[in-house]
A and B are shown apart, each in its own frame.
Chain A
Amino acid sequence: MTAPLRYERVSRWYGPVIALNDVTTSIQPGVTGLLGPNGAGKSTFLKLAAGQLAPSQGTVQVFGTRAWGSPQLFHRVGLCPETDAFWEHLTGEQFLDVLLRLTGYEEGERRIRTGQALETVGLTAAASRKLGGYSKGMRQRIRIAQALAHDPQLLLLDEPLTGMDPLNRRRVIDLVKRFGREGRTVLVSSHILHEVEAMTRRVLLIHNGRILAEGEVREIRDLLDEHPHTVSLRARNVRRLGQALVGADHLLSARFSSDGEWLTVQTARPDDLYGALPELAIECGVSEMFSPDEDLASVFQYLVGRK
């Protein structure tokens, strides 16, 4: 069976900078994590699949068709872009309706799909609010909604969990896993191993525009566990969050931001931290979290040095 997404000796450069270097790979149905530090080439990899960029060399094929210059593919492809930008004057509902209309759906069908997509990402209550008034996490979720509203067979998600609170992270992770189980192809990029690991075991490691490794996530996970893992959390009651975490034996350090809204912690066992987060999210009102890139970058440095 032909893979839904194929890269054949693909290189892409921007002037003198090589973003992707002679990449040959196939993405099979199911969920694949595209893992690499910032600047590794993840977004370029996805943009080539989404036909936003043309390869400088080689070919990218989606369902057997060249990705560049084939807009008809977007009947079957959904892209959740990394950019946090919208037509701010539209409501969430109008935004999805406009994009479904441009995907060829009639009004009745659009209404049904808009409702379903909003419900899937937990934005039904905010359907008639203007996008300009959405929080960062809501904006991320509506981006995901537009990518899946037309029921695509290939879903490209660029850092989809950025800025989300733990509960919605869980929701999106479950959604991605469900899509994978349904036999769709999902390619999800992230610079956070634990995010990817929660969605799939299959990863593509990318660094400096090259595919370092493809396959099981276990080996890289072991390496990551040797490194302290940093997570920044924004909470309504950040002091209380600090108190709740400070007794945990996996915690290496904790630091409050100067504005008193964020807590940045270093942990020796990320699993324990992530496991405790849903409960803490409710208790302390955790609204946003992110993990800086340095941890993964150091693992990649280690991997590259080892090769």
Chain B
Amino acid sequence: MTTEAPSRDTSGTLPFLTAARGVFDLSFEAMLWSRRSLFLALLLCLPIALGVLFHAAQAVELQTRITGRDLYQLLVVLFYVRNALPLVALFYATSLIADEVEGRTLTFLLTRPVSRASVLTGKYAAFLATALTLTLPAVVVGGVLLIAPEGAGALGGSLPALLRDMAAMGLTLAAYGAAFTLLGVLLRRPVIPGLVFLFVWEFLANLPGYLPRFTLSVYARGLLPYRSIPGLGELFLLDLEPWTCAATLAAVSAAGLLLAIGIFSSREYSMSQ
């Protein structure tokens, strides 16, 4: 072994961002090429299949009751924001630490001069990057397939909306991801409680009154202007400002992650043979 490099500061932990970046690089590749990602990529690409079907229906001149644009908006709101992205967040974020514990590899991360906050932040960032890598191309391809029949001009005009939709999806993933990261460090088996949260608690967003304000779903959907879809009637009862929704989701993301860091930092993780 060589002697200590003189420039290395060994008095404290590594700088937060340096350590988080190291953990991110380690985790991102593993997450992206995991079996979980394969399954979730198939789920997230479902709108592409619908886009192809829609094209096929138009090619054989079948009468469709909604336009391609309507279908795109429906998919963004009901498929991605309401269901698929929260599910993606659930399956990745609850396992950020659980996978390392189950694989008994957490020891290697916790016996380095890095803060636990940087470990969890790096892993959370890897989840976000993985989820966005899987989601955004599917959204773009699906959007192009569904809007393209309106002509090149309509497609170009839809670009700002597409970018806004992608930003909304990013924020949705961040908020649900932070909530599920918290659940993941809090509970030994977080998936079932997570599913209950998604499909029972979040269902409150569809109810009238004040209760929907306690769900994430109402803020995630409030980021998008797709309030009314012809033929399906009014989908949302609460009319919140997009910026209020964005601020709320950002606050939930920060608070969830900070709480998760607090819990992760104080817990013992002892891997046994």
Contact = CB atoms under 8 A, between A and B. Distances in A.
Contacts of B271: 81, 83, 85
B115 A71 contact: yes
A105 B4 CA distance: 10
Given A52-B268, A87-B30, A104 B2 contact: no
Contact of A71 (B108, B114, B270): B114
Contact of B1 (A47, A102, A120): A120
Contacts of B12: 72
A146 B103 CA distance: 17
Interface in B76-106: 103-105
Contact of B113 (A54, A103, A148): A103
Nearest to A103: B112
Interface string B243-273: 0000000000000000000000000111111
B13 A71 contact: yes
A52 to B, nearest CB: 5
Interface string B20-41: 0011011001100100000000
B269 A52 contact: yes
Q: Identify which of B26, B110, B113, B273 gathers the most chain A CB atoms within 10 Å of its CB.
A: B113
Contact of B23 (A43, A78, A85, A102): A102
A198 interface: no
Nearest to B12: A72
Interface in A116-133: 116-117, 120
A219 interface: no
B11 A102 contact: no
A71 B110 contact: yes
B188 interface: no
B5 interface: yes
A71 B115 CA distance: 7
A151 B110 contact: no
A102 B272 contact: no
A13 interface: no
A99 B108 contact: yes
Nearest to B27: A87
Interface string B48-84: 0000000000000000000000000000000000000
A76 B13 CA distance: 12
A52 B8 contact: no
B166 interface: no
Contacts of A99: 108, 112
Contacts, number: 103
Contacts of B273: 82-84
B272 A85 contact: no
B1 A149 contact: yes
A109 B22 CA distance: 16
A79 B30 contact: no
A98 B115 CA distance: 16
Given A71-B110, A103-B112, A103-B113, A76 B10 contact: yes
B257 to A, nearest CB: 19
Nearest to B33: A89
B272 A83 contact: yes
B1 A75 contact: no
A85 B103 contact: yes
B109 interface: yes
A43 B271 CA distance: 10
A79 B107 contact: yes
B19 interface: yes
A237 B23 CA distance: 44
A64 B201 CA distance: 50
A136 interface: no
A73 B3 CA distance: 17
A211 B167 CA distance: 60
Nearest to A88: B103
20 contacts: A51-B111, A72-B113, A75-B8, A75-B10, A79-B107, A79-B111, A83-B271, A84-B273, A89-B30, A89-B33, A98-B25, A98-B26, A99-B112, A102-B14, A102-B22, A103-B113, A104-B8, A104-B14, A117-B1, A151-B3
Which are the 8 A-B pairs with shortest beta-carbon distances?
A85-B104, A75-B10, A102-B112, A151-B1, A74-B113, A83-B104, A79-B111, A83-B271
Given A52-B110, A83-B272, 20 more contacts: A52-B269, A71-B13, A71-B112, A71-B116, A72-B13, A75-B8, A82-B273, A83-B271, A83-B273, A87-B103, A87-B105, A89-B33, A98-B22, A102-B22, A104-B9, A112-B2, A113-B1, A113-B2, A148-B1, A149-B1
Interface of B: 1-5, 8-14, 18-19, 22-23, 25-26, 29-30, 33, 103-105, 107-116, 268-273
Interface of A: 43, 47, 50-54, 71-79, 81-87, 89, 98-99, 101-105, 109, 112-113, 116-117, 120, 146, 148-149, 151
